Structure 1
Amino acid sequence: MSDGADFGGAADLIGGAATTETTGGAGGGTGDGTSTTGDGETGQTGGGDGTAPPDWFANVSDKLGDGDTASNRDWLSSLGIKDLDGLVKVARDNQRAVRESGRIKVPGEGAQAEEVTAFHRAIGVPEDAKGYEVKGPEGVQLNDAVLGQLAEAGVKHGIPKAAFEGIVSDFIQIQMADADAETKRQDGLAAEWVKSHGGQADAQIAHVNSAVRALELTKADMAGLRNGMGADRALAMLAKLGAGMAEDVMITGGSNRFGVSGAEAKAEMDKLRSDTAFMEKAMKDGTPERQRWDRLNKQAAEFQASKAA
């Protein structure tokens, strides 16, 4: 048997309803009437200073390549290169600039493991899953086992530390917002159920509590019912069981009905006697009120008999 302190109750299904009711830019103009591209191309021909290009320019293509905005010949001309030494100097300067910028080659298909590792270290992927740090909002207990698996996947797929932590933190916030919205929805369903029973709401809630005790449902069980069935359906089902309707009997040879105890039945009868409308209907054969009264009366009589014995 579960620890009584962990038993659930109608309040676990009603939730918040109780108080409601009752996680470099593109190139531009040059200022002299010529246009530039992002790489310094001007589209002009010649030596860059208005002089005729050197003879060896004739060996360089004057056709546009795919994605180019100027031919190779025009590009050389825009740089003012006059001889091969000038061209070599430009190439070496560009190579030095790339090397000193810290840029590395993005590994392509079939890249060696060390190339991939070097790229990952350069973009901030930690060496192992422990390199990621995810902190939940204050007071929120995170699932460390799931986070550990996600971190392993993050390293495996080369996700930088900042990107991983940012995405996971955002996901936690999304989960918390969804959970909060669902809690409010279930509170609303419970509030409608309570409201639908009007003056009999307290009695129905008592039936729910009786069924919970008979079934030994814990708070965790109640949370499962609330989220799985919906608060209103769970309340309705347990209230029906608690009232002993439809011959609901535990499988123990016919004893231990799902219903209020004898003491509870007597207390409820005493309360109902002051409800004039209910008592008028209870005096008529075949009415639900009469059936309920007879059931309570039987349970109260059995209770009194057991005390006398």
Structure 2
Amino acid sequence: MAIPVRWRAARLRTQGAGADARRRSWNRIKRYGPIYALFVPVLAYFAIFHYAPMVGVIIAFKDYNFREGIFGSDWAGLKHFRRFIENGDFWIIFRNTLVLAFYRLLFGFPAPILFALLIHEMRFARWKRIIQTVSYLPHFVSWVVVYALMYNFFSENGLVNALLKGAAGHTLPFLSSADYFRTMFVGSAIWKEIGWNAIIFLAALTRVDPELHEASAMDGANRFRRLWHITLPGIGSVIGIMFILSLGGILSVSFEQILVMINPQVSSVAEVVDYYVYRVGLLNTNNYSYATAVGLFRSVIALALVLIANRLAKKFDEEGGIW
């Protein structure tokens, strides 16, 4: 059967368009080849250390045996998921994780925004650079060193308790009491990361048009009104994106921080999901499948929170979501 002339013409046009698109893509690759080459190590890092290990998630559905390996071990189905759902201790630990994550989000997320706004409003450039540099430094200090500083200040014989004893005649168990643990946990996290987390907000503040501030000042708007009606809306999309990213790690409460701060006196409020996975998966023998199931459960909930937050961010601001 002969193909109509118009069909052949349409097919030739389609093939020509496809060839042109491939040619443009190849020209773009040749033009930006060095930039793509710079991206290769990043792609390899995520492929090797983030995506390849996801194959190990399968042991959450197996009775993993080291001799048999991941694929040779017997299937267990949802046995390990039912085990931690029926385990009363897990829900206490899950509650601890949510409470600590909520406190870090409530107090830790606005802190770098406020800090960036304060630095941005400073008039003396020299002091601005000094404060920025000093605020970045704690980010590069390990949690072991941070806890050593906390111990020197807040332990029973530390500087704060020495001053408190001299003023009030008594001391407070800042590091060994469940009543103070959450405050110490969130406060130390804010102190360590506030300068580093403020970098992206400081960069976003440079996008705000200064002419808007000048025009509003001529109309009689004070500094607070300019901040509320111009500066914050100008960085609203960045705040939305950072909030979504924060929700993605809301259940991954800093494991290193918990590891150095936990002790038997505060374990009732300090043990979180990550530490629980470490304890039952590595410190106890042959619990790899159970620990993997707990970690996968946490990751699924975190993914759901990210999707919900992204949907809400898109409703408030079209540029506020990640995708």
TM-score, structure 1 normalization: 0.20
Q: Could you say which structure has the greater relative contact order, defined with CA pairs below 8 angstroms and 6 or more residues apart? A: 2
Higher radius of gyration, 1 or 2: 1
TM-score, structure 2 normalization: 0.19
Higher helix share: 2
